[in-house]
Amino acid sequence: MSQTTATFRTCPLCEATCGLEVTVRDGAVTRIRGDRDDVFSHGFICPKGSTLRQLHDDPDRLRAPVIRRGGDWEEVSWEEAFQMVEAGLRPIIEQHGGDAVAAYLGNPNVHTMAGPLYVKPLLKAIGTKNIFSASTVDQMPKHVSSGLMFGHPDSIPVPDVDRTDYLLMLGANPFVSNGSLATAPDWPGRVEALQERGGKLVVVDPIRTRTAQAADEHLFIRPGTDALLLFAIVAVLFEEELTATRHLADMIVGLAEVEDLAARFAPEVVADRCGVPAETIRRIGRELAAAPTGVAYGRVGTHTVEFGTVASWLVDVINVLIGALDAPGGAMFPLAAHSRPPRSGRPFRTGRWQSRVKGYPEVRGELPVVTLADEIETPGEGQVRALVTVAGNPVLSTPDGARLDGALASLEFMVGVDFYINETTRHADVILPPPPPLSRGHYDFAFYTLSVRNVANYSLPTLGRNGEMDEWEILTRLALIASGQGADADPAVADGWSVAMTVNQAVADPNSPISGRDPEEILGHLNQYQGPTRILDYLLRTGPYGDRFGDDPDGLSVARLIEHPHGIDFGPLQPRLPDLLTTASGKIELAPPPIMEDAARLADTLAASPGGGLLLVGRRHLRSNNSWMHNLEILAKGKERCTVLMHPDDAITAGVGEGDQVRVSNPTGTVTATVTITDDIMPGVVSLPHGWGHDMAGTRLTVAARRPGVNSNLLASTLVTDAPSGNAILNAIPVTVSKD
C-alpha cells in the first residue's frame, strides 16, 4: 500500500532558513512547498526551495567518490578514495609541512551542520596557515569592523526589520537574495509590514532592483562611494546636533575622533562623487535621526569594494550615533540557541601572521583568497603544493579565475569535497561527495546567529542516502589522514573521544552550566545521537535556552526540537549590551585605529579628481545561487541571464544596441556577452552577474553547460583589496565596453 507523509525541514540553500513541507510517498519526494506553520517563515518560499527534489535526482550529482585517471573520471569505493587521499596528502605534509597543503572553504560550508563543526578540526589536523574561504569575497569587512568595535568578529548586529520605522539599506537586494547578514524569511512581507505601520524603506543602489522598486525611496549611487555617503551622514548628525546615543552614552569610546574626521566629509564635498545631491544626504540624515526607530544596514555592494571595512564600520557608527544599536527597531544582536557568550580577554585583532608571498595580514584565522594563486605559483619554502576544497568553486567565484584555474592545474595533489565536478573540482585528483540536502539533518548554526528573531529548528533527514558519506564523516576521515592516523581510522571513535573530552572539561569548569555534574550521565544523554547532532544536543542543552540535562524540564534539547517540527520561537531580539562587549576597553570602540587609518586614506582621496569611465557591478538572480544550481533545468530555463546591463545613454556612447554582443574589458581580462539596455541602471554603471562561465572542459554539468554564460570574475583583479580585511573588490570595477 502506498503511504504519503508530510515531513518538515529547514531549507539550507540561502540565509533565509525557510521552513519546507516535503511530501514523501513510497520513499520519493512528490511535493515541496512552504511550511505554513513554520514559526519564522510562515509558508514563505522562493523558487529554489522546491527544487531540492531536482537537486536530489540530478544525474550529474555524484553519489560515489570519483578519481581522475588520465583524462577521465572513475568511480571508486570510499576505501579506495581515502587511500588515494592518504597517498597524495601525507607525503607532502611529511616532506614539506602542513603549510604546503592549502584549504579553500566555500559558501555552503555555512549551510551544513558539518561545516561549522568539523572543518576546524580538519584544518588543525593539516596544520596549515594557508586557509582561504569565500568570506574574503564576501563579508570579511563586517567581521573586521565588528571585531574591532565590539571585540568579536562574529558579534554582528542585524537590522530589526520587524520593529523599525526607518530602514536605510545600502548595497543589498533581499527581494532577490533573500537577505544576508540579516536572516529573515519573506523580506517582501516584512517590508510591506514596515510600510503598513507607517515606516519607510530607503534603498541605495546603482541598480533599481526589485527591492528598490518596492522601497519608498531609491537613490542611485556611484559604485564604490558608500563610505563617502555614510561619512557625510555622520557629518550631518554631528554638525546639525542630531546625535542621540541614548542608552549607549556610557558605553562608547572614540566619539570625538569620529566627529573630527567626519568633518572632512560634508555632504557638499562628497555629493558629486556619490552622484547623490547634498540636500538629499542631509535629509536622509535628518530622517534617520528623527524616526522613532531607525537603522542603517549595508551588504554585499558596500562590502566588496575598496573601502568595504570603512563602509561596514560607518553603518554601525550611524546606528550608535542615533541610539539604534542594541535597541528594538534598531540594529540588534541575536542570541542563538546554540551560542556561547564570546570570551573576553582576547579582543579581536588581525595580522597574527602574514601570507608568505605578499605579506597579507591574517584575518580571523585565514588569508585573502586573492592571494591563493600567488601561494601556489611562487616556489620556495612553504609553497602550496596541495589543496583541499570543501563546498567551493573559486575558479568562478574569486578574482582572476583564469589565473587560479592555471594554478590549480599545477598542484601536485588536490581533493575536493563536493557533489559536482565543477570548474574547480575538475582539477581534483579525488572528489568525495557528501549527501544532498534532503538526505541530511539540518540545524542552522550559522544563520540563527544572524537572525532577526531568535528561533530554532532542527530537521531530520527526509530521505536515506544513496552511497554518499555523511559530510562530518568525510571531514573527520580527512582529518585522521592528515594527522597521520591512516585511511582506515574510525571517524566515530575519534568523534566520541572529542565529545567526551568536551564534557569532561565542562563538568570541571566552575563557570559551565553543567559544572560538577557526572560526565557519564551527561554522555549517556548525548550518546543517543552521533556526529553533528550529538554536538548540537550538547550546545543546545548547555546554551541560553537549554534544559541543562534535566535541570530545566522546559528547556531546549534536540529531542524537544524534534517534537516541534515547525520550530520554536524565542521571540524578538533582546538587548545584549554591555555583556557582549569583549573589546580591551570593555566599551564600543567607535574609532579603532586600523579603521581610522583607512578612513583617513579615504579622506585623502577627496583631494584627487574623481575618475570617469564605466564601473562594473554584480547582481543576483532569484533562480540562481552563486555558481551552482545552474544544472537544474527547472531553475536554469528561461531568458538568458548572464547579460550586461547598460544605461541607454552609455549604449549610445559605446555605439551598441539591445541584444548586441559586447566586449567588457579591463587590464585583468575580457569577457563577451549580450547587452540588455535599461534605465534601471545608473548611467556610468554596467552589471554582470557572477557564478557563470560553465564552458570549461572536464566538468560534469550537462545542463549548465548548455547556458554557460561568462565568468565576470575574469574582470576582477587579485592585485587590489579592501585593506583592513583583505576582502576582494568585486564591485565598482573600471571597465570599457565595446561592440564585439
Ligand X SMILES: Nc1nc2c(c(=O)[nH]1)N[C@H]1C(S)=C(S)[C@@H](COP(=O)(O)OP(=O)(O)OC[C@H]3O[C@@H](n4cnc5c(=O)[nH]c(N)nc54)[C@H](O)[C@@H]3O)O[C@H]1N2
Per CB under 6 A, residues contacting ligand X are: 14, 106-108, 112, 134, 137-138, 170-174, 176-178, 180, 204-207, 209, 221, 223-224, 226, 299-302, 305, 390-394, 397, 417-420, 422, 434, 471, 617-622, 624-628, 690-691, 712-713, 716, 730-732
Mark the segment that binds ligand SF4 (CB under 6 A) among 16-24, 141-149, 517-525, 548-556: 16-24
Out of Mo ion, ligand SF4, ligand X, none, which partner does residue 477 contact, by CB within 5 to 8 A per kind?
Answer: none
At 619, list the grid cell. Answer: 547582481
At 5, list the grid cell. Answer: 507523509
Q: Shortest gap between Cβ of 619 and ligand X (angstroms)?
A: 5
Q: Shortest gap between Cβ of 464 and ligand SF4 (angstroms)?
A: 22
Q: Which is nearer to ligand X, 506 or 536 (CB)?
A: 536
List Cα–Cα distances, 302 to 254, 297, 372, 475, 615, in angstroms.
Answer: 23, 10, 24, 34, 14
Burial category of 715 from C-beta neighbours within 10 Å (exposed 0-12, middle 13-18, buried 19 and up): buried
Q: Shortest gap between Cβ of 107 and Mo ion (angstroms)?
A: 5
Q: Which is nearer to ligand X, 294 or 441 (CB)?
A: 441
The yes or no reply on residue 710 touching ligand SF4 (CB under 6 A) is: no
Helices (H), 201-249: 210-214, 226-239
- Sign of dihedral through CA atoms 394, 396, 399, 404? positive
Which of helix, strand or coil describes residue 24?
Answer: strand
Helices (H), 219-371: 226-239, 255-262, 267-274, 278-290, 300-303, 308-321
Distance CA 423, CA 710 (A): 12
| Residues present in the chain in total | 740
Q: Shortest gap between Cβ of 397 and ligand SF4 (angstroms)?
A: 18
The yes or no reply on residue 111 touching ligand SF4 (CB under 6 A) is: no
Mark the segment that binds Mo ion (CB under 5 A) among 135-143, 267-275, 301-309, 585-593: 135-143
At 58, list the grid cell. Answer: 540530478
At 262, list the grid cell. Answer: 567626519
In the bound state, the residue with its beta carbon closest to ligand X is 301
The yes or no reply on residue 732 touching ligand SF4 (CB under 6 A) is: no
List Cα–Cα distances, 674 to 211, 615, 658, 660, in angstroms.
Answer: 25, 17, 8, 6
The yes or no reply on residue 48 touching ligand SF4 (CB under 6 A) is: yes
Residue of the chain from 11, 67, 271, 617 that contacts ligand SF4 (CB under 6 A):
11
Burial category of 315 from C-beta neighbours within 10 Å (exposed 0-12, middle 13-18, buried 19 and up): buried
Mark the segment that binds ligand SF4 (CB under 6 A) among 1-9, 43-51, 74-82, 168-176: 43-51
User: 422 with 628: CB under 8 angstroms?
Assistant: yes
Q: How many CA atoms lie within 13 A of 517 on its CB side?
A: 22
Q: Which is nearer to ligand X, 583 or 631 (CB)?
A: 631
Mark the segment that binds ligand SF4 (CB under 6 A) among 40-48, 653-661, 674-682, 719-727: 40-48
User: 420 with 394: CB under 8 angstroms?
Assistant: no
The yes or no reply on residue 437 touching ligand SF4 (CB under 6 A) is: no
At 2, list the grid cell. Answer: 502506498
Distance CA 256, CA 254 (A): 6
Distance CA 740, CA 735 (A): 15
At 115, list the grid cell. Answer: 561545516
Distance CA 315, CA 145 (A): 10
Mark the segment that binds ligand SF4 (CB under 6 A) among 45-53, 261-269, 407-415, 419-427: 45-53
CA proximity to 230, closest of 242, 221, 240: 221
Q: Which is nearer to ligand X, 214 or 500 (CB)?
A: 214
Distance CA 235, CA 67 (A): 59
Which of helix, strand or coil describes residue 422?
Answer: coil
Count the residues of the shown chain that bind Mo ion, applying the rule CB under 5 A.
1
186: left (phi over 0), alpha (psi -120 to 50) or beta: left
- Sign of dihedral through CA atoms 128, 129, 135, 136? negative
Q: Shortest gap between Cβ of 659 and ligand X (angstroms)?
A: 22
Q: Shortest gap between Cβ of 170 and ligand X (angstroms)?
A: 4
Which of helix, strand or coil describes residue 222?
Answer: coil
Greatest pairwise CA separation for the chain in angstroms: 78
Distance CA 436, CA 44 (A): 22
The yes or no reply on residue 15 touching Mo ion (CB under 5 A) is: no
The yes or no reply on residue 18 touching ligand SF4 (CB under 6 A) is: yes
Q: Shortest gap between Cβ of 16 and ligand SF4 (angstroms)?
A: 4
Q: Which is nearer to ligand SF4, 178 or 627 (CB)?
A: 178
Count the residues of the shown chain that bind ligand SF4, applying the rule CB under 6 A.
12
Q: Which is nearer to ligand X, 12 or 294 (CB)?
A: 12
Q: Shortest gap between Cβ of 162 and ligand SF4 (angstroms)?
A: 17
Residue of the chain from 22, 49, 255, 261 that contacts ligand SF4 (CB under 6 A):
49
Q: Shortest gap between Cβ of 556 and ligand SF4 (angstroms)?
A: 22
User: 663 with 627: CB under 8 angstroms?
Assistant: no
Q: Shortest gap between Cβ of 134 and Mo ion (angstroms)?
A: 6
- Sign of dihedral through CA atoms 107, 111, 113, 116? positive
The 8-class DSSP code of residue 280 comes to H
Q: Which is nearer to ligand X, 209 or 293 (CB)?
A: 209
Only one residue has cell 538629499, namely 280
Q: Shortest gap between Cβ of 324 and ligand X (angstroms)?
A: 19
Out of Mo ion, ligand SF4, ligand X, none, which partner does residue 220 contact, by CB within 5 to 8 A per kind?
Answer: none
Residue of the chain from 7, 8, 9, 16 that contacts ligand SF4 (CB under 6 A):
16
The yes or no reply on residue 450 touching ligand SF4 (CB under 6 A) is: no
Out of ligand X, ligand SF4, Mo ion, none, which partner does residue 174 contact, by CB within 5 to 8 A per kind?
Answer: ligand X
The yes or no reply on residue 178 touching ligand SF4 (CB under 6 A) is: yes
Q: Shortest gap between Cβ of 425 and ligand X (angstroms)?
A: 7
The yes or no reply on residue 138 touching Mo ion (CB under 5 A) is: yes
The yes or no reply on residue 423 touching Mo ion (CB under 5 A) is: no
Residues facing residue 84 across a β-bridge: none
Query: Site mask, ligand SF4, residues 140-159, x = CB under 6 A?
Result: --------------------
Q: Which is nearer to ligand X, 444 or 547 (CB)?
A: 444
In the bound state, the residue with its beta carbon closest to ligand SF4 is 49
- Judging by DSSP bridges, how do beta strands 4-10 and 19-25 pair with one another? antiparallel
User: 708 with 696: CB under 8 angstroms?
Assistant: no
Q: Shortest gap between Cβ of 185 and ligand SF4 (angstroms)?
A: 6
User: CB count, 10 Å around CB of 10?
Assistant: 29
Out of ligand X, ligand SF4, Mo ion, none, which partner does residue 13 contact, by CB within 5 to 8 A per kind?
Answer: ligand SF4
Q: Which is nearer to ligand SF4, 46 or 84 (CB)?
A: 46
Residues 6+ apart with CB under 8 A from 221: 170, 204, 205, 206, 229, 274, 275, 276, 682
The yes or no reply on residue 108 touching ligand SF4 (CB under 6 A) is: no
Q: Which is nearer to ligand SF4, 626 or 718 (CB)?
A: 626
The yes or no reply on residue 46 touching ligand SF4 (CB under 6 A) is: yes
- State the distance between the two ends of the chain, measured CA to CA, in whole angstroms: 62
Q: Which is nearer to Mo ion, 399 or 684 (CB)?
A: 399
Distance CA 190, CA 210 (A): 14
Q: Which is nearer to ligand X, 53 or 619 (CB)?
A: 619
Out of Mo ion, ligand SF4, ligand X, none, which partner does residue 561 contact, by CB within 5 to 8 A per kind?
Answer: none
Q: Which is nearer to ligand X, 284 or 716 (CB)?
A: 716
Contact residues for ligand SF4, defined by CB under 6 A? 11, 13-14, 16-18, 45-46, 48-49, 178, 185
**Residues at the interface with Mo ion (CB under 5 A):** 138
